[in-house]
Each structure stands twice: as C-alpha cells, then as structure tokens.
Amino acid sequence: MTERKPMIAVLTGAGISTDSGIPDFRGPQGVWTRDPAAEKMFTYEYYMSDPAVRRASWRARADNAAWTAQPNPAHLALVELERAGFPVRIITQNIDGLHQKAGSTPRKVLELHGTMFTVRCMGCGEHGTMRDALDRVEAGDPDPACLSCGGILKAGTVMFGENLDGESLAQAGAIAKACRVFWAVGTSLMVQPAASLCAIAMTEGAKTTIVNAQPTPYDPVADEVIRDPIGEALPRMVAALIAAHPS
C-alpha cells in the first residue's frame, strides 16, 4: 500500500522573491534597511494622513519590480511539489503574485497580506485594478482619488496598523494546525500574526524547517534551520521529499 503523502504548509516571505529581483525589507539590502523612512509608505496612519506619503507610495508602486518579475527556482519548486501529488498549501506574506505566476493553483495560495494588483477606496469600499490607478498617475494625477466618492485609494494590501482579514487568518491557522510538514521560507518570523503560524504548526507536531538567511525567533525550536540561498535550498528540499514519498 502506497504511503499517504503528508500535508505541507509553506509560509513564504519577501526572501523567496529576492532572486526574482524584488528586494526584501529587513535584509542587508532591504528597502527599509537602505531607507528607514520608506516604512511610512507601508504604515496605514501615515498613508491616510499625509498626502506626501501617498504621492511617494504611488511613485513606488509604478516602479515596483513585481510588474516585470518572473518566478525563480524556489517558486517553481513548490509547483513541482504540488504536481508530484503532495497536498500543498502556500501561505504567503508577499503581495507579488509570483506563486500563481509560477503555476501554483491559485486556490491553494493564501495571500495573507493581500495583493498589489488591486486598489480599494477607503471611503466607499469600491475596488478596482492597480493598473487603472497607475494609468491615472502616469497621466499626471500624483494622488488619484476614488472616482465614485473622492475617497483615498489604497493598494489591496495590508499595511502596518491594519488588521488582517479575519477569514484569511482563520484559514491560515487551520492550515498550520492540519499540516504535518511546515516550511517557513524567506520570512523573518517577526511580523505577527503571520509568525504565530509557525508556533501553531509546532504545537500540533508538524516537522518544521526554517529557510532564511538571517536568524529568526523560532530558530531554537525548529526541527531544522537552513541558511543556504533559498533558490538552492528549496529545490533540494522538494527533491528530497519527493524521493522519500514516491508515487
């Protein structure tokens, strides 16, 4: 009788996308490391109250590397794992859509912090596409307002100071509880409540591996910690898991 493949939960952070040309935030060359003031653009209070921060945010969105970024070997390795028949669920802190672009089944990717490709009005709640909003910026509007009510437009992402969507968070917690293998990849495990998913998985007995260049608070209690580049480590981990559970 063929052994049942274990359910795998993968929590991904900015580090998995750096090989695709998207800088992380807290690493040695991170966005906030090089320019601490840039953190204001990701903080709800500053964004909503300061037009200068919003104008800077719109310029940054237009220049975001994610518009042209392509999935790297780490993203593709997770696709390979899914296609090998493993029940894989990806919980990502990233907003770049690269997991789906690589070929991971969209319904199996939970975007915990939202997506950069949509906008919503903070007044009436109307949703639209980021591309349409950026077309207005490129046409000369440095801080485009909602066309319906004149309210402030914001990317469909979760900023510091905002609560995560309750349904998404509950779903992520259920995944962490149910998995038998939990990989935390390219995340500092410092941002809550996403980081707490690691603790949930550990409490439920999942074998936990952390793949990150820098130390994380969960390193001392993880089953394995890997410091190798993610684009090398993740394909190796996937190959080993597939070999251990042949079809």
Judged by phi (left if over 0) then psi (alpha if -120 to 50, else beta), residue 218 lies in alpha
> In sequence order, which ranges of the chain are alpha helices (DSSP H)?
31-34, 44-49, 51-62, 73-83, 98-102, 130-138, 166-178, 196-203, 230-244
Q: Tell me if residue 113 is catalytic.
A: yes
Q: How many angstroms separate the CA atoms of 159 and 227, rounded? A: 28
Yes or no: say if 55 and 47 are a contact pair by the CB < 8 Å rule. no
Whether residue 238 contacts residue 78, with contact meaning beta carbons closer than 8 Å, is answered with yes
CB-based contact 113:157 (threshold 8 Å): yes
Cα 211 to Cα 5, 6, 27, 137, 155: the distances in Å are 22, 19, 14, 38, 29
CA-wise closest residue to 104 among 121, 133, 81 = 81
Closest CA to 209 of 169, 237, 190: 237
| Catalytic residue, candidates 99, 113, 127, 245 | 113
Q: Give the Å distances, CA to CA, from 244 to 130, 161, 185, 225.
A: 43, 43, 21, 20
- Token reading at 182: 């939990």
Residues tagged active-site = 113
